[in-house]
């Protein structure tokens, strides 16, 4: 079986059996379309040798690709050969033995200071429904470290039932307890006057200036939010 013939079953297996996200699948498709298929697509999977892998790695280096891009391409190739061996039962090279991955530089974590975060919050017009919603979203992102997709997919129902802890299914389908305490923030309405956000790594106050929302305006905005949610 040629690489270009085994490529589609590999993607289908990843989606159906491994639970790869659409974003991960797109990365695999890009690695195949840009690098793997043009150089190895017409070769039988069983005939690819360590020399072929070396030539591919050399062409990647010659193009000046960064370490992360190199890592992505070679990781995709390793997964493809594992699939070929274990699922397609092809007698091909052992990727753990023949395909080494480049070292990736240690990522530099960049974050907003408390002062910078407050400056961001002050730019949001929280006197409108959309501004109030955005303000609440920024607070949740800053205090929990959730990815934007994870925050947007939060289900408000557990909070309405009085829950203060949620299990988040993150990258790679890893399950994490994101909120250790979320007592004052109402995700169902987006209303908060004083918010104490707490995670395993930090605990600090955020929220609207005290006295901004009186009972009447708060109830009105809450009703509006529920209708539009």
Note the pLDDT tens digit of each residue in 138-176: 888 887 778 888 788 777 777 677 776 676 766 656 666
pLDDT per residue as tens digits for the range 75-132: 999 999 999 999 999 999 999 999 998 887 777 777 788 888 889 888 998 888 888 8
List phi, psi (to 5°) of 112: -85, 140
- Phi, psi of 13, deg, nearest 5: -65, -40
Provide the mean pLDDT of the chain: 77
CATH 1.10.150.130 in the chain, residues? 3-98
Task: Check residue 80 and give its pLDDT.
Answer: 96
Mean pLDDT across the stretch 16-36? 92
Contact 152, 136 (CB under 8 A): no
**What is the reported pTM?**
0.58
Share of the chain above pLDDT 70, in %: 71
Q: Residue 49: its pLDDT value, please?
A: 94
What is the topology classification, in CATH, of domain 3-98?
DNA polymerase; domain 1 (1.10.150)
pLDDT of 211 higher than 70:
no
Separation of alpha carbons 129 and 48, rounded Å: 59
Are the CB atoms for 145 and 199 separated by under 8 Å? yes
What is the rounded distance in angstroms from the CA atom of residue 38 to the CA atom of residue 36?
A: 6
Give burial (CB, 10 Å; 0-12/13-18/19+) of 37: middle
């Amino acid at each position: 079986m040629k690489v270009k013939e085994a490529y589609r079953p590999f993607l289908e297996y990843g989606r159906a059996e491994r639970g790869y996200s659409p974003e991960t699948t797109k990365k695999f498709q890009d690695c195949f379309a840009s690098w793997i298929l043009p150089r190895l697509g017409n070769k039988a999977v069983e005939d690819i040798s360590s020399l072929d892998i070396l030539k591919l790695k050399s062409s990647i280096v010659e193009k000046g690709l960064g370490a992360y891009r190199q890592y992505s391409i070679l990781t995709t190739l390793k997964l493809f050969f594992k699939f070929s061996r274990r699922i397609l039962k092809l007698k091909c090279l052992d990727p753990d033995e023949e395909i080494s991955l480049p070292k990736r530089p240690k990522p530099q974590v960049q974050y907003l200071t408390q002062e910078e975060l407050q400056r961001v919050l002050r730019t949001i017009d929280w006197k409108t429904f959309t501004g109030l919603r955005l303000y609440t979203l920024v607070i949740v992102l800053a205090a929990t470290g959730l990815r934007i997709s994870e925050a947007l997919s939060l289900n408000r129902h557990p909070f309405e039932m009085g829950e203060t802890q949620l299990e988040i299914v993150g990258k790679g389908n890893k399950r994490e307890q994101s909120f250790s305490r979320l007592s004052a923030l109402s995700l169902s309405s987006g209303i908060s006057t004083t918010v104490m956000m707490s995670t395993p790594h930090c605990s600090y106050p955020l929220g609207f200036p005290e006295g901004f929302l009186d009972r009447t305006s708060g109830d009105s905005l809450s009703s509006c939010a529920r209708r539009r949610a």
